Structure 1
Amino acid sequence: MKIWILLGSMMLSPPSLAADVPGSSDLPEVKRPSGSEIIRYAEGIQSAIRFPLERVERVNNRLVIDDELDIEGHLIDITYQLGPREDYVIYMNALESGLRQTGAEVLFSCESRGCGVSGLWANSLFKVRELYGPNGNQVFFAVKLAGDNPRYLSAYGIERGNR
């Protein structure tokens, strides 16, 4: 079984012998999943970051998100591969709960089919094909972090059907 989580974009799967991607680091607000590795990392200024606040849909072969924030600024995109003993749902729930305890405001959350089609999240929104999996095996949340400067965090987790 493979599990992927995307923080800002994050991901899960059975362990491999590879180490974290060179130059990568964790976000200070996020406790790293136990036994995980950073397998994808990108950082930079973005002018159009789509931040969904509802399930994603496809209409006329186009990604449609009616309720979203269009954000520009510094983006850190981290994809984790979780270890074999980590349950992505437990991890995602603990992450969301921990962020709430720091004063983060949950703007949107969904799970399973309530998120829409996983292929839209993976391919059209995040552009990370490894995030594709069964629609019933996904979790997403978006939060506004506490503090004077507006900062946002989204996390998407999925358990893939392949082993």
Structure 2
Amino acid sequence: MAIFHSFLRRTSSFMLASAFFLPATVFADEIAPFPNATLDLQLKQSVTSYPVISSSMKKVNGIVTADSEQWLDGSLDRKLYLLPSGKSSDEAYRFFTEQFKKLGVTPVFSCERFSCGGSNFWANNVFDIARLYGLDKEQAYFLGQKEVDGKTAYYLTYTVRRGNKREYALVDIFTAGKAKALKRNQVVLPTLPGSLSALASSDAYKALLKAFENQSRPLLITVESASAGRVSEVDSLSRQLQEIQTLLQSKLREDAISSSRYRIQSIVGDQGEGTLHWQVLQ
């Protein structure tokens, strides 16, 4: 039985922030979007330790657990839809599972309403998307699998109605396979942004803002440069990193993110590319 410690799950290696886009074997584009729904989140990326859950979630002695699960590396294609007014999460569940079946996806596990366990477990411990936390009686989950080009692709949807009456549908297609080992919430920085506009338009900053939307606790943000081969390069990169820290502070302040919600550090890295990553502080 796997144990989902809250802190461990939030500092594990699974990337859930929209970021550096990498090729996947199977794409969610083959799944039609729910009519008139708003695409609230979209990402395609390589991930490590993706949770393939094939049982309901429960809490025993203060610990969130699942009786049947796997943690796999591979490629993820994710889409989160905000459903239009007048349409229910149940309708979305039927809409997506019917498409899965037409594609030849074999059901592995499904649950509805209270049999899924607490919605907060799915939202916060499995998907790490806070706005998926809704009513236990208005949720549904489906997991299926299909062999594609010699690899196992997992198709899942989780739908829920929130207390504020907003209804969401998450669609994940995860293709198991070797993944690049990346840190939790790590976003590649091909170049270190040198201006507020460059920072604001970067995938890294957009992913960071999403993290603030989904997380109420403070974040430790780390800006890591590419490796340096000479002392002069270390000096130059150190100056750039200091400038980026200042840019980050200015941009976060501009976007109404209080300084009490984060701390920033920077380091000269040891890889070929720079990264921006963050972790949740207690």
TM-score (norm 2): 0.46
Bigger helix fraction: 2
Report whether the alignment pairs 1:67 with 2:34: no
Q: Cα distance, 1:58 vs. partner?
A: 1.4
> RCO higher in 1 or 2 (8 Å CA, sep ≥ 6)?
1
Question: Comparing 104-113 with 31-40, which one deviates more in the overlay?
Answer: 31-40
SS in 1 for 2:28: coil
Could you list the runs of 5+ residues in structure 1 that have no partner in the other structure?
Answer: 1-22
Question: Comparing 145-154 with 72-81, which one deviates more in the overlay?
Answer: 145-154
SS in 2 for 1:145: strand
Could you list the runs of 5+ residues in structure 2 that have no partner in the other structure?
Answer: 1-20, 22-26, 166-282
The within-5 A match list for 1:1-163 is 27-148=28-149, 149-163=151-165
Q: 2: distance between equivalents of 1:150 and 1:139?
A: 23
Alignment: residue pair count = 139
Any conservation in 2 of the 1:122–1:129 contact (CA below 8 Å)?
yes
Q: Cα distance, 1:61 vs. partner?
A: 2.5
Any conservation in 2 of the 1:134–1:159 contact (CA below 8 Å)?
yes
- Cα 1:54–1:34 shift into 2, 3 Å: same
CA radius of gyration, larger in = 2
Q: Cα distance, 1:108 vs. partner?
A: 0.4
**Identical columns (%):** 23
SS in 2 for 1:124: helix
Q: 2: distance between equivalents of 1:145 and 1:36?
A: 26
Deviations 1:115-134 (A, max 9, x none): 00001111111111111111
Any conservation in 1 of the 2:28–2:78 contact (CA below 8 Å)?
no
Any conservation in 2 of the 1:99–1:145 contact (CA below 8 Å)?
no
Q: 2: distance between equivalents of 1:151 and 1:73?
A: 9
Q: Cα distance, 1:52 vs. partner?
A: 0.8
Q: 2: distance between equivalents of 1:138 and 1:161?
A: 12
How well do the aligned residues superpose, as a CA RMSD in angstroms?
1.8
Any conservation in 1 of the 2:119–2:135 contact (CA below 8 Å)?
yes
SS in 2 for 1:34: coil
Deviations 1:81-118 (A, max 9, x none): 11113222122113212211221101000000010000
Q: Cα distance, 1:53 vs. partner?
A: 0.4
Any conservation in 2 of the 1:33–1:86 contact (CA below 8 Å)?
no
Deviations 1:28-62 (A, max 9, x none): 33110011121112322111011110101112322
Paired position in structure 1 for 2:187: none
TM-score (norm 1): 0.78
Q: Cα distance, 1:146 vs. partner?
A: 4.7
User: What is the one-letter code of the residue matched to 2:64?
Assistant: L
Any conservation in 1 of the 2:89–2:160 contact (CA below 8 Å)?
yes
